[in-house]
Structure 1
Amino acid sequence: MASIEVTSTTLATQRVRLQPRPSKYSSSYYYYYDLLELVFRNTEAEYGKVILETIPSPLSQSRGLNSLNSGLIDITWAGTNLEREQHFTPIRIPLIGGLLGMRVPVIKKARLAEFRGISTAAQLKKLTACQGSQWPDSDILEANGYKVERIIMFDLMYSMLNHDRCDYFPRGLNEVFAELEGPDRQGLMAYEGILLRYSLPMYFFVSKDNRQLEKRLAQGLEAMVESGELHQFISHHSVTRSMFPLSRYHQSQIFDLINPILPASTPFERPELWIKL
């Protein structure tokens, strides 16, 4: 998207292009879309009005990021890694307080007793996790010795779990409960007795050339952090509120994983950005 010159006398309406939902059952999309609307609304007085538009067809995570530099879309959101931060500009404020890296396994209800019998990471590593083929999570899991079935399409992951093509599907605490309300998921459940924990902040990304949009997003999100509005948004949005209170996970077994692809620029020195379990 070409930069729009802002003057003291006129604020042009900007059209910002996004990709559509990757699946009609991908409820987490609305969280990021609504957050973007709020950021743009909060910065409207200084930067002007924004109209969000979606392109006709969904994109894979990798193609969505590459489409920033080709100009097909203007903003996307994704878990970060070293390669992505080299090629695209991240707004380094974790959009859900870092909770994307708290993963609860979705399992078939019929296998509950089996998972209740797991007490070590070594036992879980004998099973196979469904994950996105282009997600950083797949690289993190494999680097830590977990078996992964990499799948391109989001809808197929739940289908493959239902058909025993994998044993569990690790989902972020912010995603899982809304997703399980979808059709054909009545036989599935989030098994809260086990959590996988690794550092994986979710950021908004823009192209390296779009300095105006980078500045606006950073300014808007920083203001929300300072006022507490971002944490309020996380805890009250319809997609994410069901993961609270986090005290419900204090009795869960937590298996910690190392993220070898995490950039050194990750702002861990700012405790106000992170929500701790």
Structure 2
Amino acid sequence: MAKSRCLLMLLWLWSAQTSAEDVVRIQPSQSVDNTSYQYYVDLLQLVLNSTAADYGPSRIVVLESTLSQARGFNLLKKGQLDVYWAGTSFARERDYLAITIPLEGGLLGYRVPVIARNRVSEFAKITTVAQLQKMVACQGSQWPDSDILEHNGFLVERVISFSLMYSMLAQQRCDYFPRGINEAYAEVNTQGHEELMVYDKLILRYPLPMYFFVNKQNKPLAKRLTQGLSQLLANGKLADFLMHHPTTSAIFPLSRYQASQIFILDNPTLPKDFNNREHHDWIEFSYQ
């Protein structure tokens, strides 16, 4: 009888602990090509783990249906999604709570062209912005990048589905696919992209940090994420995570890009106070 009561007590404690566990609902990966997705999932889990002592345990739950950015933000507004990560903009920060510590140190705004290998000699001849502006970039239809590129005079083929962009590039229905330095290598190294390459002799540079966003009413979660990211940034674990994660480690050392041509672009979508933020770009491009 005593053993039975003890077992029941253990089961009750386990059940209570499980039921007390917070669930954090996130977006699914947009495509098998979207390998950088795992970086943000792992980083979110690291943030939740590092704050568990103050806020309790949390469990990440991934939604099943693939989401466009517009739908993802809409679900966040409705409270059907808890965390959504995306490039920031004035409109997004107006409508949602942004955790204003760049998840990738600001490197998302260094865009390298992914191109077909058989066109490398063509891109090697590019020495001016005007030459690249004559080519067509595949880009997400709802991404701030498309607005930024068009604002700067670039030709953009807006594509609603991430999974279509690499196939369109392979079919040469666009000339290049600008990806963040932190994204490009892992994506191109996935199976089926043998005919593609990262052409990192050219870099488009514009400020566009990737932030965690939460619903405006979910201030406790925003506080937790801010605390966790701030702690990881201060103790160096965020930089270490970026430098050693399987999807981002290939970009280091950053000194390898010193000979690359960097074309500086304007980003008109940013909040007005962006340049005054303490951590708007926490990793130097010459970081080694």
TM over 0.5: yes
**Does 2:234 match 1:242?**
no
CA distance in 1, matches of 2:25, 2:113: 33
Q: d(CA) in 2 for partners of 1:69 and 1:106?
A: 33
What is the match of residue 189 of structure 2? 181
Q: Which residue of 2 aligns with 1:213?
A: 221
- Aligned amino acid, residue 241 of structure 1: S
The aligned counterpart of 1:42 is 50
Q: Which residue of 2 aligns with 1:170?
A: 178
1:264 and 1:179 map into 2 onto residues whose CA distance is 33
- Does the CA-based 8 Å contact 1:80-1:262 persist in structure 2? yes
Pair 1:29-2:30 in alignment: no
Where in structure 2 are the equivalents of 1:95-110 lying within 5 Å?
A: 95-110=103-118
Q: Residue deviations 1:6-54, cap 9 Å, x none?
A: xxxx993101111211112211110000001000000001100001111
| Structure 1 counterpart of 2:271, from 248, 263, 266 | 263
Distance 2:209 2:281 in 1: 10
Partner of 2:66: 58
CA contact (8 A) 1:225 1:272 kept: no
1:197 aligns with 2:205: yes
Q: How many residues align?
A: 268
Equivalent residue letter for 2:196: L
Q: Return the letter of the residue paired with 2:54.
A: E
Match of 1:174, SS state, is helix
Shifted more, 126-135 versus 20-29: the winner is 20-29
What's the secondary structure of 1:15's corresponding residue?
strand
Counting only pairs closer than 5 Å after superposition, residues 226-241 of structure 1 correspond to structure 2 as 226-241=234-249
Structure 1 position 66, deviation (Å): 1.4
Q: Over aligned residue pairs, what C-alpha RMSD do you find?
A: 1.4
* Matched residue SS, 1:52: strand
What is the Cα deviation at residue 84 of structure 1?
0.4
Matched, 1:254 2:271: no
CA contact under 8 A between 2:100 and 2:279: conserved in structure 1?
no
C-alpha distance after superposition, 1:149-168 (max 9, x if no partner):
00011111011111111000
Note if contact 1:103-1:170 (Cα within 8 Å) is conserved in structure 2: yes
> Scaled by the length of structure 1, what TM-score is found?
0.94
Helix, strand or coil: the match of 1:34?
helix
Structure showing the higher helix proportion among its residues? 2
- Percent of residue pairs bearing the same amino acid type: 53
CA distance in 2, matches of 1:229, 1:273: 16
Deviation at residue 267 of structure 1 after TM alignment: 5.5
SS in 2 for 1:175: helix
Matched residues in 2 for 1:247 and 1:273: separation? Answer: 17
Counterpart residue identity of residue 203, structure 1: Y
Aligned to 2:20, what secondary structure does the other structure show? coil
Contact 1:107 1:190 in 2 (8 A): yes
1:154 pairs with one of 162, 177, 196? 162
Q: TM-score, normalised by structure 2?
A: 0.90
Highest Rg: 1 or 2? 2
Looking at structure 1, the residues matched to 179 and 21 of structure 2 have their Cα atoms a distance apart, in angstroms, of 37
Instruction: Give, in whole Å, the separation in 1 of the partners of 2:170 and 2:23.
Output: 40
Q: Is the 8 A contact 1:225 1:273 kept in 2?
A: no
Distance 1:19-1:271 versus aligned 2 partners, 3 A rule: closer
C-alpha spacing 1:155/1:236, structure 2 compared with 1 (3 Å): same
CA–CA distance in 2 between the matches of 1:132 and 1:29? 15
| 8 A Cα contact 1:174 1:240, kept in partner | yes
